[in-house]
A and B are shown apart, each in its own frame.
Chain A
Amino acid sequence: CRTQQGWTRPGSAAMSSGGTLSILRSDSYAELSQYRDQHFRGTRYDQERLLRKSCTLYVGNLSFYTTEEQIHELFGKSGDIKKVIMGLDKVKKTACGFCFVEYYARGDAENAMRYINGTRLDDRIIRTDWDAGFKEGRQYGRGRSGGQVRDEYRQDYDAGRGGYGKIVQCQ
């Protein structure tokens, strides 16, 4: 006869007569954050619908020197990656500290949110968030100098992100 593994997979917790418990349904790491891309074309409703079925994650706080290979190695731990798109400085066309990771399956992206978000890549704590889907142009930083907005105004020194913020550098 057929056998199954000793510990059942979590998915079978719900049952026709009993259902499950809300404390066990809690999945805060995989939920949508408060952030909404202001450049999104469409209604808030559309945006949230896309976010809820997306297989793409935005990844932030990368070092400028983190490579696609390193990202692939880390994010590959939660499933097969379809594509990695590096974020680029709009002017210099070099990496500017963020990227998109697209998985084939939403479940794999959810596991990345649960277990890779908030851990280290290239010795930096990275942050992941749901993305409504890559569109041409979204790979560029939106800061005035070409990089990300956060690097325009920050006051601290960050060796992995070009040193001081632009506003400090221009003084």
Chain B
Amino acid sequence: MSRRRHSDDSDAGQPHKRRRTSEPSEIEERLESLICRVGEKSNSSLESNLEGLAGVLEADLPNYKSKILRILCTVARLLPEKLTVYTTLVGLLNARNYNFGGEFVEAMIRQLKECLKVNMYNEAVHLVRFLSDLVNCHVIAAPSMVAMFENFVSVTQEEDVPQVRCDWYMFAFLSSLPWVGKELYEKKDAEMDRLLSQTESYLKRRQKIHVPMLQVWTADKPHPQEEYLDCLWSQIQKLKKDRWQERHILRPYLAFDSVLCEALQHNLPPFTPPPHTEDSVYPMPRVIFRMFDYTDDPEGPVMPGSHSVERFVIEENLHCIIKSHWKERKTCAAQLLSYPGNNKIPLNYHIVEVIFAELFQLPSPPHIEVMYTTLLIELCKLQPGSLPQVLAQATEMLYMRLDTMNTTCVDRFINWFSHHLSNFQFRWSWEDWSDCLTQDLEKPKPKFVREVLEKCMRKFDLMKHPEGADNIKIERCLIIPFITGCKYKPKHKRSLPGYTVALCLTIAIKNKASNDEIFSILKDVPNPNQDDDDGEGFSFNPLKIEVFVQTLLHLAAKSFSHSFSALAKFHEVFKTLAESDEGKLHVLRVVYEVWKNHPQMIAVLVDKMIRTQIVDCAAVANWIFSSELAHDFTRFYIWEILHSTIRKMNKHVLKIHKELEETKARLARQHKRRDSDDDDDDDDRSTDREDGPLEEQIERLQEKVESAQSEQKNLFLVIFQRFIMLLTEHLVRCETGGIDVFTPWYKSCIERLQQIFLQHHQIIQQYMVTLENLLFTAELDHHILAVFQQFCALQA
């Protein structure tokens, strides 16, 4: 490899040439590029590329050592999928320059400490693995690595620390063993045996209450959904039984064994795990998602078993590739498909399994859901002859196992499948699923198909695309029983008492009446709650609300924009009619009555009404749990609305909080500026005057934050309270009637409760004490209490 060196006379007499100050960053960029791209798009072997790069870097060490150190530490942290490539590089550098090797190890330890301090535990695992692979490259002495692991495992002996803390140190130790187990066992077998037996006893005594909440399927067949540490332990035990023989990991350093053997090794400094603090936030436990095994691809290479260490390594690397390239879908797809070992493993199956593992991950996927849809489409484009079949096979399997799939995961499956189909003209073997036509609508399979079709209909107008209708042949049979009424006609009740007022309103609105004119027309509507009427006609009048809202929504039915304009134009009327809590609830009821055949419209109207403060979040929560909605209670769109409502509440709190912090910062800056201009005449009154408006603003904002947080807390309390009431009713009814508790409705409802905890766990964690004392007390039915206890176990 050649590198052009900048000549010293580059800017003599040539002012337009680049100035020296920009050189260092250019060089850093070049170094970074050389290191990051080593081995890519090259005709020579990886080994010769590494050798060449090592030579170049060695030559640059005198001038650019700190930059090279920084870059190498960063790739260790952020490119774990190329772990062994970079440990080999470091090994070669260490062989040529012992001091550099030592400095690198020190820098890595510093970086590890910093990661742990700022709660970056995933990056920290990559660093630990990197250090352990450096043993294989003769950079770090095996005994010192074992000593570090001894300190890690001893964390499990700490008292009064959260289990998730011990879990992390155990994971960091175990997950490095596929790379370095053999070497460590060869050098220090007694110590390793001791560590492994300590591991075994920790894993036996550790509690696993959280597992059911995180499993995608509750069934153990065909593949058990194991807790991540249990699965890893099984894999390591098998590895040990196989005498630590591991054949999947690419180890470039093997080719350099003669060179690396000659290198002097460094000892890791003694590493004390930083103590647990109030601010420590450890990773949540996980459940390993498995949907395939070797029987699913009988023609191709054998898929490594669920307890093989190969499976672990492949999955880790594929997850890391997605994490590295999630923003660049084409690159991500290409990198996944070029994972080494393509002909020895059924790569397409691994990729599909890993992608679904992320999509279905509980509490939430690592990346936005739509990314996975588009990534799968890119993969299908790159492998049109093989990947679509694997995807179809996977879809079929997911459909077959809907009965035991977690409701939240079913939601995501619905979203993914309907969106995916819309990119492929809705082509699918729908007839294969016609068995669901004969089943009760509440059963998982027909429910799923109905929700998928409802979503497909949103993207696709059957009237416009008869060819598409041919593809959804089954739709013709399904739609009629599932969705009654033709496309989204709002319901209009002519029998309503206020009908004449409705007619007047219609004419007035068409003639661009003002809010005041509307008010005067509405005054004529009698109030069925006569005694509540305070004479001014502004108390809760359900009839007024019905007449106004129904009329307006019918007139504005043409499109979302029309409806939004209507809400905006008559905002004043809405606010007045919906002033009370009952008013808000009734507005929501009427909206639902008008648009119950068009869930999408209900969702966008509710969203707009919250944003324009016609209704508040608590009203939406109460409405969702009201008896009027019981029929639609298990429909997907209802939960989309509820979670969207909660998210709006959370964003609102964050926004005001941010405003408060920013204003406080402004005040602080003002003080600072004043302190530095100290030599001016000190006029106490003028400084107070300056602070005044900002301090007032801060006070107001603090009140706003408190009131927003109180509203947020109240929202969760309402939701949990209503869940408890609903579930308790069902449980009592079943008990007295002697029927089985586990109806499809019950499964759906209890999983929706779990979903609230999981999707908003960070906020809810703030209110744990209140929840425990007020709602989730010991008197509660154990079925419901179990959900709360599982949630608590996630942070224990």
Query: Which chain A residues have a beta carbon within 8 Å of chain B's beta carbons?
Result: 1-10, 12-13, 15-24, 26-30, 65, 67-70, 72-74, 77-78, 80, 83-86, 111, 114-116, 119-123
Contact = CB atoms under 8 A, between A and B. Distances in A.
A80 B607 contact: yes
In order of increasing CB-CB distance, the 8 nearest A-B pairs are A7-B366, A77-B370, A73-B458, A115-B374, A3-B284, A18-B74, A3-B795, A115-B370
Contacts of A69: 458, 559-560, 600-601
B164 A1 contact: yes
Interface stretch (B31-39, B189-197, B230-238, B583-591): B31-39
Interface string B155-170: 0000000101100000
Contacts of A8: 120-123
Given A18-B77, A20-B78, A119-B423, A7 B319 contact: yes
Contact of A3 (B282, B377, B601): B282
B727 interface: no
Contacts of A7: 122, 319, 323, 358, 361, 366
**Interface of B (DSSP majority class):** helix
B327 A30 contact: yes
A21 B32 contact: yes
Given A15-B114, A67-B559, A78-B370, A29 B327 contact: yes
B189 to A, nearest CB: 32
A17 to B, nearest CB: 6
A108 to B, nearest CB: 9
Interface string B11-34: 000000000000000000100110
A65 B373 CA distance: 25
B119 A4 contact: yes
A74 B458 CA distance: 9
Nearest to B280: A1
Given A73-B459, A114-B327, A78 B368 contact: yes
Interface stretch (B43-51, B461-469, B675-683, B705-713): B461-469
Contacts of B739: none
A45 B618 CA distance: 45
B460 A26 contact: no
A15 B115 contact: yes
A2 B281 contact: yes
Contacts of B33: 22-23
B114 A77 contact: no
B75 interface: yes
B600 A23 contact: no
A158 B119 CA distance: 55
Contacts of A19: 70, 74
B283 interface: yes
B323 A10 contact: yes
B118 interface: yes
B644 interface: yes
A40 B48 CA distance: 54
A111 B361 CA distance: 20
Contacts of A18: 70, 73-74, 77, 111
Contacts of B119: 4
Contacts of B75: 21
B281 A77 contact: no
A114 B329 contact: yes
Residue picked from B73, B286, B370, B601, most chain A C-beta under 10 Å: B370
B81 to A, nearest CB: 12
Contacts of B373: 115
B337 interface: no
B329 A72 contact: no
A1 B370 contact: no
A4 B162 contact: no
Contacts of A120: 422-423
29 contacts: A1-B278, A1-B282, A1-B795, A6-B122, A6-B283, A8-B120, A8-B122, A8-B123, A9-B366, A18-B74, A18-B77, A21-B71, A65-B464, A67-B461, A68-B559, A69-B458, A69-B559, A69-B560, A73-B455, A73-B458, A74-B419, A78-B368, A85-B561, A111-B370, A111-B371, A115-B373, A115-B374, A122-B464, A123-B425
Interface in B107-155: 110-111, 114-115, 118-123
Contacts of A70: 458-461
Contacts of A86: 561
Nearest to A123: B425
A23 B415 CA distance: 31
A24 B761 CA distance: 29
A28 B332 CA distance: 13
Nearest to B366: A7
A19 B561 CA distance: 45
A70 B419 CA distance: 12
Contacts of A80: 607, 644, 648
A8 B285 CA distance: 13
Nearest to A111: B368
Contacts of A15: 77, 111, 114-115, 118, 120, 123
Nearest to B564: A83
Contact of B459 (A28, A114, A122): A122
Contacts of A116: 370, 374
A7 to B, nearest CB: 4
A10 B324 CA distance: 9
B78 A28 contact: no
